[in-house]
Amino acid sequence: MPKTTNKYATDSEFVRNLERDITAFIKAGTEQTDTEDKFNALALLLFEYQYNANAPYQKYCAKRGIKPGDIESWQEIPAVPMSAFKEIPLCTFPPEEATRIFRSSGTTNPEKRSKIYLNDTGLKLLDTSYMYSVVNYLYPSGENLHTLFMSPPPHLVPPDSVLMYGYLKILANHTIGDIEYFMDEKGFNLEALVARLRKAEETGESVFVISVTTGYLHFFDYCLSKGISFNLPEGSRLGDGGGYKGRSREISKKEFFELAQKMTGVPPHCLINGYSMTELQTAFCDNVLYNHVNGIKEPRYKLGPPWTRSVVVDPETLQPLTKGETGLLRHYCLANFNTVMAVQTDDLGYQIKDGFEVVGRAKGAEARGCSIAMDELISAQGM
């Protein structure tokens, strides 16, 4: 006897079929075209599942007067603000049954971090989605590279964010030998990284350096202070993500790319900015290397895989903006199987061609004058 007759139970036929269809859609890869109908059909089914199996989300939708069957297009699926994941478990099964709980890095307040509950199905979809979403953009010729990761090794700090978990899987599949880590309990091991990059220059074996953007800023400052720069072998690439606001300074994306090229000799088409978040079970990254290899002339932007859609909404009204206008990014992702597929971020960006570009994160409320803003108060209290 099946455990339950609930149509939307995790082991129900409906859910299994949906998982199968979404998995197949993802596995068809990033090259598939004309996916609008397919995406829409699966999105509406996934909404039906999440509406029926995720009680708080159902109430949230009900307040907006939206339920499955009433809507015809994925654009109408209510998006959940990212902050909601900090408050309550948002999943399609009892949270205590989660196989794995991921957390956001919680940059502003470590006490308040988003939590994403995944069961085996959700985890499998996360694996698949990450594997298929950016591989073409990071390794357009299917090549393998030496991976130099400016992050602590997983035995030191187990990955608890979706992007760390996901990227480790991607990198493991395309790394010659083992991933080399350049961070430990004490912080970045910059001397070791310098030595490793020198070795790459000597051997001519290209490397893929991965770091949060601020890690590069830190490294470049170190190199500048020592008068060091590199000319890394052809095919080497730098992957960055997380924003350009360092503890001591903030630079523009353009300035970052110029600096990175100057310091490492890596050309702009091998400087790949990634965009991920724990609330989204898909990674995004720049199209530059892919376009370079495939002879496509296009500006730098992020093209989401076919199982995602990204739109830009007015920060004030949350209504969709027209292409090119800057607003808040909202993502719809079929790999968000166990959680909520429509996520309203506070990342500022704009739509370009079939994709989007990120401008930065909304800074939160900064008081204009003598009144005190939340962040400042928190820092003043030393909390």
Partner 1 sequence: MPGTKTSIPAFFLSGFTEADIGEFVTLEFGTGKDRVRMRSPVLTPSLLSKVIAQLKEAQEQYLSKLSVYEIIETIDKAVALWRDSAYPPRRKAEALLPLITGYSSQMITQTLDEMVLMLRGENLRLLLEEELGDPLFLDQFRPRRKSEGMCKVYGPRLTTAVFAGNVPGLPVGNIVYALLMKSAILGKSASEEPLFAVLFAQSLAEVDPELARSVAMVCWKGGDEEIEDVVFSSSDAVIVYGGERSVNEVRKRVPSGTRFIAYGHKLSFGVIGREHLVADRVRQTAAQAAIDASVFDQQGCLSPHVFYVEEGAEIAPKEFAKLLAQEMDVFNREIPRGRISPDESAAINQLRGSYEFRELEEDDVAVHASSQGTDWTVIYERDPSFVPSCLNRTIRVKPVKDVKDVVDLIKPVKGYLQTVGAALSDKRFLLMADKMGQLGADRICPLGKMTAPSLTWHHDGRFNLLDLLRWTDIEEVLDKG
Least distance (Å) from partner 1 to the CB of residue 210? 29
Q: How far is the CB of 332 from partner 1 (least distance, A)?
A: 17
- Helices 213-226 & 253-264 angle (0-180, nearest 10): 50
Query: Which phi-psi region, left, alpha or beta, contains residue 48 (left: φ > 0; alpha: ψ -120 to 50)?
Result: alpha
The residue type at 339: T
Q: What does the alpha-carbon distance between residue 19 and residue 13 come to, in Å, rounded to a whole number? A: 10
Residue type for position 242: G
Binding site for partner 1 (CB under 8 A): 56, 59-60, 63, 80-84, 86-88, 90, 315-318, 326-328, 344, 346, 348, 362-374, 376-377, 380-381
Strand segments (E) across 174-270: 180-181, 183-184, 187-188, 207-212, 237-241
Of the two residues 226 and 363, which places its CB atom closer to partner 1 in the complex? 363
CB atoms within 10 A of CB 243: 18
CA distance 135 to 167: 10
Closest approach, Cβ 55 to partner 1, in A, equals 8
Whole-number minimum distance, CB 10 to partner 1, in Å? Answer: 21
Residues 182, 150 contacting (CB under 8 angstroms): yes
Kindly state the smallest distance separating residue 325's Cβ from partner 1, in Å. Answer: 11
Considering beta carbons, is residue 89 or 159 the nearer one to partner 1? 89
Give 57 or 219: the residue with its C-beta nearer to partner 1.
Answer: 57
Which residue shows structure tokens 């007759």? 5
Min dist CB 15 to partner 1, Å, is 23
Nearer to partner 1, 1 or 383 (CB): 383
Report which secondary-structure segment, H or E, holds 220: helix 213-226
Joined tokens for residue 119: 């069961």
If the CB atoms of residues 81 and 233 are measured against partner 1, the closer one turns out to be 81
Q: How far apart are CA 352 and CA 169, in angstroms?
A: 29
Cα end-to-end distance, the chain, whole Å: 53
CB of 254 to partner 1, least distance (A): 21
Q: State the nearest-atom distance from the C-beta of 112 to partner 1, in Å.
A: 9
CB 307 within 8 A of CB 334: yes
**How many CB atoms within 10 Å of residue 275?**
25
- Nearer to partner 1 among residue 317 and residue 322 (C-beta): 317
Closer to partner 1 by Cβ: residue 181 or 356? 356
Task: Considering the complex, state which of residue 38 and residue 67 has its C-beta at the smaller distance from partner 1.
Answer: 67
Please, what is the minimum distance in Å from the beta carbon of residue 371 to partner 1? 5
Please tell me the distance from the alpha carbon of residue 366 to that of residue 361, in angstroms, as a whole number: 13
Residue 24 or 378: the one with the smaller Cβ distance to partner 1 is 378
Instruction: Find the largest Cα–Cα distance for the chain.
Output: 71
Q: What is the rounded distance in angstroms from the CA atom of residue 376 to the CA atom of residue 365?
A: 10
Q: Which two tokens stand for residue 344?
A: 């309203």
